[in-house]
Amino acid sequence: MIGLDFGFGAVEAHFWALLFAMTRIGAAMVAAPFFGAGAVPSQLRVIAAGAIAVLVTAWTPIEPPAALFSPEGFLAVAGEVLIGLSLGFVLQLAFAAPVIGAEVISGAMGMSMATAVDPNSGSQSPALGQYLTVVVTLIFLALGAHLHWIALVIESYDTFPPGETWLGPERFARVAGFAGTMFATAVAIALPVTLVLVLVQLVTGVLSRSAPALNLFALGLPAGVLAGIAALIASVPVLTEQMIDLSATAIGRVEAVLGP
């Protein structure tokens, strides 16, 4: 049946079905921002994928390919990976919006040199971006959106049963179209702070023209940093609402990918 027979009968068949179900779930977790973060041990992701796969195989009849180690079997596994990566990539786009907004804010504040290693991607990102990433992660988890996302991953087995995992151009367009929402949210996050920093820079420029003896660099950088921090503190309520809307939009886009 699978191409390998260890002589355990029904137990072996159930094991291959469980392993096949873990393919989609594991791919989704690897692509998701918080499950797939570098700080999360691989063993934990495997255990979580296995626990969810046990529930999936109990609720949904999953039949692995007749010959898993064959071209048809590898194609079926690739389809499972495609579905999982697509569902996780939508969340990855949502969590990238605060980082992009932080890039703009840090550049305007003069804090571009303050960088840290992003635990999600492993690349360098502004320290402010790490702060906004933590905020959006806490809001996402507090809303229970991660549970909703896991439920949608399980629901995907009804929409895309094994062997019928081609998303189609329309669903691919829905995933790619979420990038526009990501950039719009990033602009909305950076806009209040950026406007304040533009005003500070205008005032600094006027002062430098009226009093040339003043050191523009010694005056402008501390003023920009202080104004940026004050603007961030003042915009916390607006920022929270934007993060909530972003989380809801991301879950809605995952539902749209699974929709007709």
153-212 pLDDT, tens per residue? 888 888 877 777 677 777 778 778 788 888 888 888 888 888 888 888 788 777 777 766
Tokens of 24: 């989609």
DSSP annotation of 3 reads S
User: By C-alpha distance, which of 85, 82, 71 is closest to 168?
Assistant: 82
144: left (phi over 0), alpha (psi -120 to 50) or beta: left
- Please give the pLDDT value at position 47: 85
Are 56 and 155 in contact, with CB atoms under 8 Å apart?
no
User: By C-alpha distance, which of 100, 161, 158 is closest to 133?
Assistant: 100
Helix (H, G, I), strand (E, B) or coil at 116: strand
Residue 222's CB is within 10 A of a number of other CB atoms, namely 11
| CA geometry: angle 76, 55, 59, nearest 5 deg | 80
Are 99 and 43 in contact, with CB atoms under 8 Å apart?
no
Are 189 and 181 in contact, with CB atoms under 8 Å apart?
no
- Please give the pLDDT value at position 1: 45
Specify the residue for token string 């195989």: 57
- Please give the pLDDT value at position 115: 63
User: By C-alpha distance, which of 260, 106, 86 is closest to 176?
Assistant: 86
Phi, psi of 86 (to 5 degrees): -65, -45
Give dist(CA 101, CA 191) in Å, integer: 8
Phi, psi of 89 (to 5 degrees): -65, -30
Ranges of the chain whose pLDDT falls below 50 = 1-3
Q: At what angle do helices 145-159 and 236-258 cross, to 10 degrees?
A: 10
Torsion of CA 217, 218, 224, 227, to 10 degrees: -160
- Please give the pLDDT value at position 211: 67
- Please give the pLDDT value at position 218: 65
